[in-house]
Amino acid sequence: MSHELDAFIETLLANPPGPPGSIQLEVDTDGVTGLYEVLLTIMTEALKSWYAPPIQLSSLTEADGVKLAAYFASFGFVFRLEVTDIPRVFRPRNRDYLTQSRLPDMKFQMTNDGKLFTASFAFSNAP
């Protein structure tokens, strides 16, 4: 992780989430794929700061999900975390995002305690 991204995450999490669009995120990436990876890193680092390793996603509360979504909204993104039962036949395909060209089509899947957690991001319409 770059020093700039590390500093951004540290500053972001040091305060409660701000209003939507109140923080400017400037990242130098190689297109939407790089942006997606940055957003995943922010999600991961936030969870690591709230929970001791290993992170048990099943421990996430609804309030934590709302708080995480509020942090993403503060710098112009919509964060979604869908929770479903793990399908009988399941093979995570977390590198499929490399074949996508639109941010909302990129998904990251994690399993924990019999549940499937699917994280995705989209651009918000906040100013």
69-115, pLDDT tens digit by residue? 999 999 999 999 999 998 887 777 788 888 899 999 999 999 889 89
14-62, pLDDT tens digit by residue? 999 999 999 998 888 888 999 999 999 999 999 999 998 888 898 888 8
How far apart, in Å, are the Cα atoms of 59 and each of 17, 55, 62, 92, 97?
Answer: 21, 8, 10, 21, 26
112-127, pLDDT tens digit by residue? 898 999 999 999 974 4
